[in-house]
Structure 1
């Protein structure tokens, strides 16, 4: 219990332990890690949006809070936001665009522009199988490459072309 308090308070006492010894995220697959992060109160950079249908990520804060963690507290095996975004895409998440209506008056436009600029650091991703109200759908979040291969197997197209042997007779 004391170790959990140390992690949540940002203590560096775990840096001397072997990598991943107390890390509850390591054995989880990407969608499970994402779900656990969203459901925990440990992260301020990622949250449920749109009534639990979208994942919202504050890009700058996520890079510091999640990707900037030490080895033993690491959630993902990367330090780059583009790798996390790639995983989102591979698991069928699509980026949701936010449209803002702009005012005609210059002062209102400028204040809205500042708000939009700050808001542009927030990324929104949606996956129909990733919904806070339906946690049982989490098991249906699969990597697209695996889905593609499964489709080829079902169609009987998974056989690889014959290759020439390396030795000749």
Structure 2
């Protein structure tokens, strides 16, 4: 089975945004990852600019750590209109290095980061990753497994 890359944000996902950065929602997310061994996590959070990959990986449970494989590249926007879809562009840059048509999804609390909504598990920044988000993620991963996932690619911003 080919890997499914999970582009993961932290603030507003692994813990509510603006609260203690305690990763309290990470166990719920890791429970989904355990049921889908084909998943590989790529950190797309701003934390990637502050901490090394080993420090980021250390936040995860020991059995999940080997599947946290990388961080996305950082693109520095030059104009405000380049902010829309920025994380998705960084993810596509990362995927281009892999070659081919890789399967992927994103977990983020900011919809403007990911124009391809069909691939986004959008969390509520006040709550972080919840049971409802886990259900959506499972449905997406099941669709990838069965070959039934069809997502329109986002149009490039004008």
Relative to the length of structure 2, the TM-score reads 0.29
Relative to the length of structure 1, the TM-score reads 0.27
Q: Which structure's CA Rg is the greater one?
A: 1
Higher relative contact order (CA 8 A, sep 6+): 2
Q: Higher strand proportion, which one? A: 2
